[in-house]
Amino acid sequence: MKDVIVYQIDSFTQEKFKGNPAGVVLNAEKLTSEEMQLIARELNNSETAFVLKPNSENEGFDYHIRYFTPTTEVPICGHATIAALYAKAIESKLESCIIKIYTQVGILPIYIERIENDYQITMTQGAFQLSPVFDLSTEENIVKALGLKMEDLDEKCPVQIASTGHSKVMIGIKSRSILNSLTPDFTSLAQLSKMINCNGYFVFTFDTDDENILTYGRMFAPAIGISEDPVTGNANGPLGGYLIQNKIIEMADGTFEFTARQGEAINRIGEMKVEVTVNNSIPNTIRITGNAVVVFRVTMSI
């Protein structure tokens, strides 16, 4: 028998049952890949993070983290990273520190800030990439599969793939009411994912009644078993780079910061701060910051 420590964490919120739930397994070096996949399927969160100690002290990182949806391994996940480092901070009673994690998108520094008896986590994401704008036919197919009309699109927002390690299609629309009433065709979205080599579709809007919130969003990834992800770090982070590189937000140099909110339509609302450093009008480093809360901790024997 193997005993592993399992947390359920809600990320990007301080209220249980809001934000984005993630499983975290802290001593996962005991597990095989097959066992990790089975645990992720059993927990049935959009992602579960498995935290492994390095094989030696000279590998340049503190922990190796692997990420599994209920059906497959993925290279990186924002909310599960927040959850994993929050669980590690709680378990080890850490002071404020930087922990380097090894992922499929590289070694990433994660800042853990202790605030009284709680923690806030800042994740530096992978390198930002922006793909060419889709041709009109592909754009129309994506729009139709999402249950949108072409006239719903925000004219200043091109439909294209943005990534900081786990790519998402960016779809800007005009109306928050339309955003919250979306009923996508998940079969069509999954089929399109094979054609465009991107599993996630992030629909966002600037239609907000809160001056502190820049965007509201929803994210769908049925091709990897996620009908809707409540609050997505690997969508809102790349969104920041997308807004700068497309000059939707004008900024020459410095730091662009905004707060993004997601999950309103499915009653799992959460939010994160996105920070983009800008050099010569080009996004350089992207960070996301979020809170988290423990829902439960158990020891699992397998």
List, by residue number, the catalytic residues: 47
User: Which runs of E-coded beta strand occur in 90-237?
Assistant: 97-103, 106-115, 118-124, 129-130, 160-163, 168-173, 200-205, 215-221, 226-229
202 touches 168 (CB < 8 A)? yes
Query: How would you classify the pairing of strands 270-279 and 254-262?
Result: antiparallel
Q: For helices 136-145 and 186-196, give the axis angle rounded to 10 degrees.
A: 150
Q: Are 206 and 55 in contact (CB under 8 A)?
A: no
What is the spatial distance between Cα 272 and Cα 291, in angstroms, rounded to a whole number? Answer: 8
List, in order, residues 6 or more apart from 240 with CB less than 8 Å away: 256, 258, 274, 275, 276, 283, 286
Neighbouring-strand partners of residue 255: 277
